[in-house]
């Protein structure tokens, strides 16, 4: 009897691997160590829980611990892995203050990522938040909820840590003015969530545009929608520090001494992979700072794998190594590693870095490589065009502008990336572009695709085809 | 000075060709002969005009005669072409009772299609309709509109024929009970339109399912939605005749003598290409009955082209010749022929037979080859799977079931076709499948596509990926 397949981390990648492995290989044990008490939760759903669109914290959990155990997975919550010995194939685990060793036959590192805070004075105050994980989400929702409506069972979800966080913030006076530092995914989604609680929202962004990864057309459209919704934008603006009185947040100081009195600050300036556990091991990191893996998700150590937000992947357009901490690649890589360890070698796949985002009434999407400097570094000669077309036939009620940007290589015509934004079913249209990218199509080939037409859903020439036609005409 | 480029038919294919030709080749004339008075109208929009979602008949016109003339196109409305002499390169045209000959250098036949009526007794009564073109649409909308709300200027659009039709039907008592014969596109869309006017709607369909081209899962979902909306379905039912008293419609007789008293009947059993003009010429038809063309839209006569609903095209999956009278292929082929005649040879492209349709709250789509007998005839060994998945993350409000069907070749794994149906942004997802088909992907390759995920728009595994995963697991 060999040792079990051991997984560190009970979220998307870890549990996908364990579940797939269990189905492929019923004979041998699979053990998942999770340092927290929550497993299998939808990280991307936290802004909607904070906003109140999702009522209970438990709704964000896609599998309960019981579901997981019923799948035949040995789940150990509140178990922190503190060391990995790749020579003896043993990990050190701490639970409830007790430390023990545990042997593995294969190991999957799926420790995820965490939000980084700003290196500024005041960032450690009680009402200065980051958002990554359920305790953060609970704290923010509880803080925003008026004391009369507060319900720690819903908002704390029944677990000890989140319930105590809920009680701490639920007892406080709700914030009226909130500053968001950072205009990426978290910043934009949380501007909507805070506005829903009638807070005055100020968003500070160091670059000159929101959502740089989505390109200028999307960034401009989102900025205009945020402003229309009452969010005050401070673009191209540096936040300097946060001031306090007796441990209570007072002002956000920015742009050479300007001050704004705020009740809370959310810092959404990025996340980093949780790789600290690997410092003392021979497991190598890649240039991005995440764990380097091969096409099967295997690290440089033969029986050690890594997947999800802690690991790198290959970019489908450039072939380069990238760190793209998103939900689908995490699930897919986990599942592939579960199959591989279970005896059916399966590649973890490439990423196009496809993403979608909602900002008030707008939906937007991006995929591939939009940035010219990045395309040039990969040997391409990029050209970009942006068009605006209707989402439905012009005469059909509900038609809205859809703005599509496509980038291609001028020499070969190869499609490199795209983004789009609009108020009527825009976001899902990114999948057309992502699929064309995945197929390695040229812009001319994309233009020839036989996409659907029906007045309530799409004009004769789908906005993506219009963009392909215009860009192809410039090649 | 050579003779002009002559186009017969002033709708999607004809005007796309004339417009593209004009831009490519400003020196030589392009003349469009249209037998009716309406040009450039959105045929697919007529159900929504009849329903009342589109207010004015003129809203369905995408370019006015003046717009067309301002493009430098010599447009001759109310000009019927009655003969083509391909030896002398001359056509015969009748306008206002006068006949004349007109020479061409190149000729485009874009005469479209027409609705076929049922070969049954009573099909020629005044309140028995087909739907193809603006006079039919005007008649139905005017008939449905209560006399007090009737406005012949809106509903007739200002043209003589449609205005006189509007006045004829606008004066009549609106129908209370309507029978639809045929459960394809027209039948399903018109069931929604008639229901919006509070008519009792009975839909008769000879096959056992609605919308056979969309597969059984879509047909069943649409049937259940129509029933829920109050439409009475008579599936697997033969209509025998319509009875009359003094020229007034009385009963629809079906299924061996059953009778239902109705005020109007809409016959939507299909359309046929308008090829009668070619009977006396050497221009050849294909096996489908539409005009046979090569990859540039050229007929067997060197300087004669055909495009749109009157012409065949190649199917992208099977390579076979098909007749797929839909809007995008008509526009695309017309545009390509305009470029070719203008000196830039451009292929008319393949069709995947992608289509979308709305039925009350449902949207559905289809693409490629779903029918097993058709796939087998093309040398494939087809397998089909249907799955149901959420349209958004399960915890996010507004998530609806999306049912996806995929068909693949068991030997190669090649994707052959797909369809889907659902109430939340389902229809536009067909474009993912159409693009994968266009790229010649296998189901395994489709499963690897990096599609977008965001709780308000899509679950982690897009329903199309779930379907690909399940079907790939069966190969």
User: Alpha-carbon torsion A426, A427, A433, A435, what sign?
Assistant: negative
Q: Quick: pLDDT tens for A173-226.
A: 999 999 999 999 999 999 999 999 999 999 999 999 999 999 999 999 999 999
- State percent of chain A over pLDDT 90: 93
Measure the CA–CA gap between B19 and B71, rounded to whole angstroms: 7
Tokens 């100081």 correspond to A253
- In the prediction, which pLDDT does B153 show? 83
- Percent of chain A at pLDDT > 70 equals 100
The H-or-E segment that residue A368 falls in is strand A362-368
Q: Which residues lie closer than 8 Å to B97 by C-beta, 6 or more apart?
A: none
For domain A361-474, give the fold.
FAD/NAD(P)-binding domain (3.50.50)
Cβ pair A396:B54 closer than 8 A: yes
In which residue are the tokens 């997947």 written? A307
Name the fold adopted by A5-37+77-114+272-351.
Answer: FAD/NAD(P)-binding domain (3.50.50)
Q: Judge whether A430 is closer than 8 Å to chain B, CB to CB.
A: yes
By C-alpha distance, which of A286, A46, A77, A304 is closest to A186? A46
Chain A contacts of B458, Cβ < 8 Å?
356, 427-428
A148 has pLDDT over 90: no
pLDDT at B445: 98
List Cα–Cα distances, A276 to A37, A117, B472, in angstroms.
Answer: 20, 17, 38
Query: Are the Cβ atoms of B430 and A452 closer than 8 angstroms?
Result: yes
Catalytic residues of B: 44
What letters, b where the CB count within 10 A reaches 16 and e where it falls short, cover B278-315? beebebebbebebbbbeebbbbebeebbbbbbbbbbbb
How many CA atoms, within 13 angstroms, populate the side-chain half-sphere of residue B316? 28
Question: A415, A437 in Cβ contact below 8 A?
Answer: yes
Q: Is B52 on the interface with A (CB under 8 A)?
A: no
Q: Which of A346, A414, A428 to mutate to test the interface with B (most CBs of B within 10 A)?
A: A428
pLDDT recorded at residue B4: 96
Whose CA is closest to B43, among B10, B69, B65? B10
The model's pLDDT over B389-425, given as tens digits with 9 standing for 90+, comes to 999 999 999 999 999 999 999 999 999 999 999 999 9
Q: Is A448 in CB contact (< 8 Å) with chain B?
A: yes
Condensed to tens digits (0 to 9), the pLDDT of residues A111-143 reads 999 999 988 999 999 999 999 999 999 999 999
* Predicted pLDDT of residue B148: 87
Interchain CB contact of A353 with B (< 8 Å): yes
Question: Which residue in B has a C-alpha nearest to residue A354's C-alpha?
Answer: B452
The residue of chain B nearest to residue A59, with distances taken between CA atoms, is B395
- B288-320 residue pLDDT tens: 999 999 999 999 999 999 999 999 999 999 999
Lowest mean pLDDT among A144-158, B45-59, B184-198: A144-158
Please determine, for the modelled complex, whether the ipTM score is greater than 0.95.
Answer: yes
CATH number of B5-37+77-113+273-351: 3.50.50.60
* Amino acid A377: pLDDT: 97
Helix (H, G, I), strand (E, B) or coil at A228: helix
Report DSSP state, residue A471.
H
* Burial class (CB within 10 angstroms; exposed 0-12, middle 13-18, buried 19+) of A400: middle
Q: According to the model, what pLDDT value does residue A1 have?
A: 61
pLDDT averaged over every residue in chain A:
96
Contact A393, B53 (CB under 8 A): no
- Mean pLDDT, to the nearest integer, of A376-386? 98
Q: How far does the CA of residue A216 sit from the closest CA of chain B (Å)?
A: 19
CATH 3.50.50.60 in chain A, residue ranges: 5-37+77-114+272-351, 128-269, 361-474
Task: Kindly list the distances between the CA atom of residue A55 and the CA atoms of A47, A60, A149, B93, B457, in Å, as whole numbers in the listed order.
Answer: 12, 9, 12, 70, 18
Structure tokens belonging to residue A193: 């969530």
- Nearest by CB to residue A431, choosing from B329, B395, B451, is B451
Tens digits of per-residue pLDDT, B218-238?
999 999 999 999 999 999 999
Mutating which of A214, A454, A473 best tests the B interface, going by the most B Cβ atoms within 10 A?
A454
Mean pLDDT of chain B: 96
According to CATH, the superfamily of the domain at B128-269 is FAD/NAD(P)-binding domain (3.50.50.60)
> Which of B12, B395, B427 is opposite residue A54, by nearest beta carbon?
B395
Helices (H), B287-407: 327-341, 372-377
Sign of the C-alpha dihedral, residues B392, B394, B397, B403? positive
Mean pLDDT of A224-235: 98
Q: What is the pLDDT of residue A310?
A: 98
Q: Tell me which DSSP letter residue A300 carries.
A: S
Question: In Å, how far is B28's CA from the nearest CA of chain A?
Answer: 23
User: Residue B326: its chain A contacts at CB < 8 A?
Assistant: 453
Contact list, A458 vs chain B (CB under 8 Å): 356, 427-428
Question: Any idea which residues of A carry the catalytic annotation?
Answer: 44
Instruction: Find chain B residues with C-beta within 8 A of A59's C-beta.
Output: 395
Rounded CA-CA distance A65/A60 in Å is 13
Contact B435 A455 (CB under 8 A): no
Query: What are the residues facing B321 on neighbouring strands?
Result: B314
User: What residue spans in chain B does CATH classification 3.50.50.60 cover?
Assistant: 5-37+77-113+273-351, 128-269, 361-474
Tokens representing residue B425 in the block: 């942004």
A-interface mutation test, from B454, B462, B463, B466, most A Cβ less than 10 A away: B454
- CA-to-CA distance for A31 and A74, rounded, in angstroms? 5
Confidence of residue B77 (pLDDT cuts 50, 70, 90): very high
User: Which chain B residue lies closest to A326 (C-alpha atoms)?
Assistant: B453
Helix (H) or strand (E) holding B24: helix B12-24
Residue A322 near residue A313, CB atoms below 8 Å:
yes
Contact A45 B351 (CB under 8 A): no
Number of neighbours of residue A302 by Cβ within 10 angstroms: 9
Cβ contact B425–A429 (<8 Å): no
Residues of A in contact with B457 (CB under 8 A): 356, 358, 363, 427-428
Which pLDDT score, from 0 to 100, does residue A192 have? Answer: 98
**8 Å CB contact of B428 and A457:** yes
DSSP-assigned beta bridge partners for residue A241? A253
Q: Provide φ and ψ at B106, rounded to 5°.
A: -130, 150
pLDDT at B1: 61
Contact indicator for B361, B391 with CB cutoff of 8 Å? no
Smallest Cα distance from A100 to chain B, Å: 36
Q: How far is Cα A231 from Cα A362, in angstroms, rounded to an integer?
A: 15
Smallest CA-to-CA distance from A83 within A312, A273, A282 is with A282
The structure tokens listed for B413 are: 């794994």
Partners of residue B436 in chain A, C-beta under 8 Å: 435, 439
């Amino acid at each position: 009897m060999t040792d079990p397949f051991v997984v560190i981390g009970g979220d998307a990648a870890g549990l996908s691997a364990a579940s797939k492995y269990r189905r492929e290989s019923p004979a041998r044990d699979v053990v998942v160590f999770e340092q927290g008490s929550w497993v299998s939760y939808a990280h991307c759903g936290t802004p909607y829980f904070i906003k109140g669109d999702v009522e209970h914290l438990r709704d964000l959990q896609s599998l309960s611990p019981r579901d997981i155990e019923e799948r035949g997975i040995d789940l150990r919550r509140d178990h922190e892995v503190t060391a990995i010995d790749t020579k003896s194939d043993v990990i050190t685990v701490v639970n409830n203050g007790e430390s023990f060793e545990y042997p593995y036959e294969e190991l999957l590192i799926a420790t995820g990522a965490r939000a980084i805070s700003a290196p500024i004075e005041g960032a450690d105050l009680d009402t200065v938040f980051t958002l990554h994980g359920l305790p953060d989400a609970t704290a923010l929702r509880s803080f925003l909820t008026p004391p009369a409506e507060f319900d720690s069972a819903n908002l704390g979800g029944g677990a000890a840590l989140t319930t105590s966080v809920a009680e701490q913030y639920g007892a406080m006076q709700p914030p009226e003015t909130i500053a968001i530092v950072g205009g990426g995914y978290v910043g934009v989604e949380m501007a909507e969530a805070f506005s829903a609680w009638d807070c005055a929202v100020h968003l500070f962004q160091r670059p000159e545009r929101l959502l740089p990864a989505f390109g200028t057309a999307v960034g401009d459209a989102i900025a205009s929608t945020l402003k229309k919704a009452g969010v005050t934008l401070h673009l191209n603006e540096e936040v300097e520090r946060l001031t306090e009185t007796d441990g209570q947040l007072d002002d956000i100081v920015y742009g050479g001494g300007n001050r704004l009195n705020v009740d809370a600050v959310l810092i959404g300036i990025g996340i980093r992979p949780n790789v600290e556990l690997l410092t003392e091991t021979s497991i190598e990191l890649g240039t991005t700072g995440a764990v380097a893996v091969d096409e099967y998700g295997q690290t440089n150590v033969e029986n050690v794998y890594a997947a999800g937000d802690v690991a790198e992947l290959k970019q489908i357009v450039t072939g380069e190594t990238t760190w793209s901490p998103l939900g689908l690649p995490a699930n897919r890589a986990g599942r592939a590693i579960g199959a591989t360890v279970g005896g059916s070698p399966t590649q973890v796949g490439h990423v196009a870095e496809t993403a979608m985002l909602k900002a008030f009434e707008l939906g937007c999407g991006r995929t591939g490589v939009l940035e010219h400097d990045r395309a040039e570094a990969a040997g391409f000669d990029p050209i970009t065009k942006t068009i605006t077309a209707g989402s439905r036939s012009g005469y059909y009620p509900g038609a809205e502008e859809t703005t599509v940007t496509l980038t291609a290589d001028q020499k070969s015509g190869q499609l490199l990336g795209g983004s789009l934004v609009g108020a009527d079913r825009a976001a899902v249209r990114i999948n057309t572009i992502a699929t064309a990218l995945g197929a390695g199509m040229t812009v001319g080939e994309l233009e020839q695709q036989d996409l659907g037409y029906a007045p309530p859903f799409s004009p004769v020439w789908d906005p993506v085809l219009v963009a392909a036609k215009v860009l192809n005409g410039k090649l």
